Amino acid sequence: MDPFQVGRRKIKLNWSGKRVFVTGASGFIGSHLCEALIELGAEVTAMIHYNSRGDWGNLEYLHPKHKTALRVVAGNVEDSDFVNRQIRGQQIIFHLASLIGIPYSYMAPLSYVRTNVEGTLNVMEAARQAGVERVVHTSTSETYGTAIYTPINEAHPLQAQSPYSASKIGADKVVESYYRTFNLPVITIRPFNTYGPRQSARAVIPTIISQALTQSEIHLGSLDPVRDITYVLDTIQGFIKGAEANASKGETVNIGTGTGLTIGEIASKVLSLMDIKKPVITEEQRVRPENSEVFELICDNTAAKQKLGWFPKYSLEDGLQMTIEFIKGHIHEFKPSQYNV
């Protein structure tokens, strides 16, 4: 019997002692997810990308009690043998490992195919062989491209407007195929733009905050694109509820607030909360190629509410304020004068 379903009745998953494997655990969202899973009582194995420094990335920010509770393994999702060995004996998989920088995907598209498509294939095959109870796969709203209609629901066509988004569409289709072919118990969570503490300056909100603290001007790309931004703790609840959902196997579910703001409006909001007045400048090197820019992403989160029981809880003001305070405390880790691709 599927442990997540008895008829159509939802079963509250008992996380205590669950053997959970998280790829991309050292990333922004992955580190928050590991933290939340430990608090729920899960036995978490955190897979990070190997580096010779023994650096755990964003997991270094965790409280010592959380770090002690983690089992950390360093490797690469492109190595199928490694992934197979690590997933053997696990019960629930959260797959977040991915190359995500859109500008860098213009420079190194093959790396994105290898990590995002082949890496996802390796994780799905390892999960199939291990007979896991559930796989939660991470997509992105970038797969929709510029909106044909808003708000965007899960039926919206997929449009590859960058090598990054193409690789994520490929990954999503690999996951879909493993559900349809092998009945792998997967759900794909498709977050819209997530922000919060620990996010790198590759993303727009940390870029705004770090420059506001240190530079005389704020240098950004285009200010006109519309984004639906979700605080990271809300996003990870979408992942957890996706693992708990009883009737959403094989489905994709959007996670977002349902409200859109232009990049310019986001910058104004951040500067207002920081009580800083500085000019915001569009810098040409930060502007995407015209046909690659995604101009409007606003989430229709109806399915998340109805199927997962998910609702965003954090206000924009509260989320931005917590992000500002984090970056203030870690500004030495940023390079505000440098364009991070």
Is 281 a domain residue?
A: yes
Give the pLDDT confidence score for residue 224 in this predicted structure: 96
**Residues spanned by the domain of 188:** 19-333
d(CA 42, CA 226): 37
Give the bridge partners for 284, in sequence order. Answer: none
The tokens of 135 are what?
A: 């796989």
Q: DSSP assignment of 245-288, as one string?
A: -SS-TT-EEEE--S--EEHHHHHHHHHHHHT----EEE-GGGSP
pTM of the predicted model as reported, rounded to 2 decimal places: 0.94
Which amino acid, residue 171? A
Q: Tokens 């989430």 sit at which residue?
A: 299
pLDDT digits (tens, 9 = 90+) for 147-182: 999 999 999 999 999 999 999 999 999 999 999 999
What's the DSSP call for residue 117?
I
pLDDT digits (tens, 9 = 90+) for 14-65: 999 999 999 999 999 999 999 999 999 999 999 999 999 999 999 999 999 9
Is 48 a domain residue?
A: yes
Is 8 a domain residue?
A: no
Rounded mean pLDDT of 66-81? 98
Is 95 a domain residue?
A: yes
Is 33 a domain residue?
A: yes
The tokens of 255 are what?
A: 């996670």
User: Is residue 97 packed enough to be buried (19+ CB in 10 Å), middle (13-18) or exposed (0-12)?
Assistant: buried
d(CA 322, CA 199): 12
Rounded mean pLDDT of 170-197? 98
pLDDT digits (tens, 9 = 90+) for 221-266: 999 999 999 999 999 999 999 999 976 789 999 999 999 999 999 9
The tokens of 244 are what?
A: 């708990």
Per the CB < 8 A criterion, the answer to whether 166 and 284 are in contact is: no
Is 338 a domain residue?
A: no
Give the pLDDT confidence score for residue 4 in this predicted structure: 36
Is 7 a domain residue?
A: no
What's the DSSP call for residue 13?
-
Q: How many domains in the chain?
A: 1
Q: Are strands 252-255 and 186-191 parallel, antiparallel or unpaired?
A: parallel
User: Is residue 166 packed enough to be buried (19+ CB in 10 Å), middle (13-18) or exposed (0-12)?
Assistant: buried
- pLDDT above 60 (res 11): no
The tokens of 3 are what?
A: 């442990």
Is 260 a domain residue?
A: yes
Torsional sign, CA 45, 47, 52, 53: negative
C-alpha triplet 330, 321, 64: angle, nearest 5°: 45
Give the pLDDT confidence score for residue 143 in this predicted structure: 98
Radius of gyration over alpha carbons of the chain, in Å?
A: 19
Give the pLDDT confidence score for residue 226 in this predicted structure: 97
Query: Is the previous residue joined to 197 through a cis bond, with omega within 30 degrees of 0?
Result: no
CATH classification at residue 279? 3.40.50.720
Give the pLDDT confidence score for residue 6 in this predicted structure: 32
The tokens of 289 are what?
A: 């190629």
Per the CB < 8 A criterion, the answer to whether 257 and 299 are in contact is: yes
User: Is residue 270 packed enough to be buried (19+ CB in 10 Å), middle (13-18) or exposed (0-12)?
Assistant: buried
- pLDDT above 80 (res 7): no
pLDDT digits (tens, 9 = 90+) for 103-138: 999 999 999 999 999 999 999 999 999 999 999 999
